[in-house]
Structure formats: C-alpha cells, structure tokens
Amino acid sequence: MAQGLTTAKRRIARWFRHLPGWSKVVAAAACSVAVLFGAVMALSAAAVRLEEPVFVLGAAANATGAPSEGAASAPEDDRSARPETAPTALDAATGAAEVNLFEAAGSQRVLDAGEIPDVAAALAAFGDAGWEAGFVVYDFKAERGLGYNADVSIFSASTVKAPYVAYVAQEFLDSGRAQLADEVFEDAVQEGTGIMAFDQVDTYDLGTVLSNTIVHSDNTGYALLRENYSEGFEAWAASAGVDAAAWQGEWYPFYTPRDLAKLWLSVGGYLKSGSANASLSEGLLSQTGTSFIRQTLGGGYRVLAKPGYEIDTPRFNMGALNDAGIVRGPSGDYLIAVMSDADYDDEYFTDNEPLIKNLIAALAAAHDRLLAA
C-alpha cells in the first residue's frame, strides 16, 4: 500500500504542476479537504488500495485539458469567430491506422507492411504494450511524406512549447513589439520541469525566459510567455493550419500528430527566414534536453526538436511519449512528429523509451529509402 500511495502522490504532483497559478489555489484547497477527509477515512479503511485521486477538481481539472466529471457541456463552438485555418502539405497524411506515402499535391497510397517492415514492427510493439501511436514525416525538398494515425488525439505535454516560442519570436521580437532585454516579472510559478521555480529569482529578461522554456523545458517560463505574450497566437496557429481556438485556452492541450507536424512545418519555415531571432530559436531548439530524436539520430545529423512526455494520471488520460522536430542531414531537411499515449517519466518510469526510439530509427530509415530526393 505504501508504494501505491507514493505512486499516486507522484502522479498527482505531476498533474498539479501543469496548472496555471490561479488553478493551483483551487487545487490546493481541494487537496487540503481531501487530505483531511482521507485521514478520517483511513481509520476505517486502511486496507483499501488508493488507485486514483479521491477528489474531483472542477475548474482546476479543466486547466489540464481533462474534463471534470459531471461538468456541464460546453456551448457549441462558434467557428465563424475563429481564424480560418490554412491548408498545408500535410493534409494528405492518413488519419487511419495504416501507413501511407503522400505527396504535398495531395496524392497518396497505402504502404504494404513489406515495404516498411521496421516501421510496422515498431508500431506493433506499441500496440503489444497497450499503447496507441501516430506520426507524420515530411521531406521538405522532395515534398512527400509518411503518415500513420495522424488524427489520434494525444496529450501534447511540453511539445507545445516549441511552436509557442517560435510564435513569440516571430510575432513579437521580429515585429519590434518586444525586445530580448524586456523585463518579465515572475508572477506565476509552475513547478515540475525547469529551473525557474526554484532559483530565487523573480525578474528575468525575455531572452532568458525563452531560453529556459526550450532548453530546460521550463514550466514557469512557458507560463510567463502565455500570460504576457498570448495575443495573436490562435491566428498564428491558424496560419499553420491548426485550430488552436479549439483548445479553449488550454496551455497543454490534447492535439494530433498532424497538428504537431503542421506547427513544426511553420516553425521550420520561420527558422529559414534568416532573421536574428530565427537563428536564436534554432540555437535553442538544438539544445533541448531528453530529445528522443536527437538521442537516436544525433550522431550523424543536426536535430532541432522539443519532446513532451507525461506519466498517466488516473481519470485524465494524460500519458504521453512524444517528440517532434527537424532533422538536418546530407540529403536535406525533414520533419518528424511522433506522438503516443504511452507512459513516460524521466525521473522514475522510463520503461517505454525503447518504443519511441525504435520507431524514430525506423522512420529515419524509411525516410532515406522512400522520401529523400
């Protein structure tokens, strides 16, 4: 029972760290009530195994992208008020559980397992372990790619930080609306990954916030960007072909491998713009920690990537083992976005790491064989 309680507390803590600051107040109050209630109940039910949190967090649960039980249905979206999403070269990637080879112009065909045996084996390993995976790969020069299960909805985790930093750099720094030296006050603290929640510093320059958000996957840094530089993000995402308005303000939404790949298609275009801040963004993306793409392919390639992962939390389906980015090699640049609902935590549960690394290696080989111009 002690081990079960410890695991449950870790999971609750990792869920808790994704909440915006105001939600943490609500969550903390709920936790206090739950602890008091639990102490009383433990006297009569000490042998009961804790398998999930014993409290339901209404608004706080919604801040993570997970619906609270019994919550009222949201009103129907007014799509006419949203920025119109742009078509992209990735629209032909299949949303089905089959691998297809597609062209930017829209043509596509389903690949037989015999054409991609290593990819098929890697996907089967996910399935055998009880997890669902999806991916999009796209070669910029050849303008063709590979897709599988591209419309499965997966918890984004920290993958969302890369496009958000690119958006801030492009829309605020490049336009002159902000400067790297601008002062950012730490009025929101997000524990978990990163260094800013514990460094005893309460004021940063914007350049440091951007750097920490990417290099250290800093949750506090990302929260400060969301709080201070959010105007226009939905329009920026729409220009990439992603309906971020559907996230309803979630900082860590559920989205699809196609969405993640589209966002990175826009990031890649920005990195090629040649602006000083694009070069800065590229440098940051080359230094991200725990990138499964870089660990798998970094020996012979330059990898610009941002992973995102999470241990599953009971009732919220937040398990995620994701990585996305741009691989630069002898044949040119290509994009890879892999998402899955597999459990992963770099502190104490890394058993599923070989699943994503084997799939990335298989996709890289398939790219060189089928896509490279």
pLDDT at 45 over 60: no
Q: How far apart are CA 371 and CA 190, in angstroms?
A: 41
Residue type at 228?
A: N
Q: 221: which DSSP letter?
A: H
Within the chain, all domains assigned CATH 3.40.710.10 are found at: 100-178+229-371
Between 19-23, 52-56, 253-257, the lowest mean confidence (pLDDT) is in: 52-56
pLDDT digits (tens, 9 = 90+) for 170-211: 999 999 999 999 999 999 899 889 999 999 999 999 999 999
Give me the pLDDT at residue 231, please: 93
| Identity at 278, one-letter amino acid code | A
| SS3 assignment, position 12 | helix
**In the 3-class helix/strand/coil scheme, how is 166-210 assigned residue by residue?**
HHHHHHHHCCCCCCCCCEEECCCCCCCCCCHHHCCCCEEEHHHHH
In the 3-class helix/strand/coil scheme, how is 258-308 assigned residue by residue? HHHHHHHHHHHHHHCCCCHHHHHHHHHHCCCCCCHHHHHHCCCCEEEEEEE
Q: Report in angstroms the alpha-carbon separations of 37 from 45, 221, 223, 321.
A: 12, 35, 32, 34
pLDDT at 1: 37
Other CB atoms within 10 A of residue 222 CB: 28
Q: Render the burial of 116-148: b for 16+ CB within 10 Å, e for the rest.
A: bebbbebbebbeeeebbbbbbbbbbebebbbbb
Mean pLDDT of all residues in 335-350: 94
CA dihedral 213, 218, 220, 224 (to 10 degrees): 10
**Does domain 100-178+229-371 fall into CATH 3.40.710.10?**
yes
Q: Do the Cβ atoms of 114 and 364 come closer than 8 Å?
A: no
Task: Report d(CA 302, CA 311) in Å as an integer.
Answer: 29
**Residue 78's pLDDT band (boundaries 50, 70, 90)?**
low
Rg over alpha carbons for the chain, rounded to the nearest Å, is 21
Span 112-135, mean pLDDT?
97
Compute the average pLDDT of residues 257-284: 96
Q: Which are the contacts of 200, defined by CB distance < 8 A and separation ≥ 6?
A: none
Give kind and range of the element (H or E) at residue 322: strand 320-329
Least confident of 32-36, 177-181, 290-294, 356-360: 32-36
Mean pLDDT over 287-296 rounds to 94
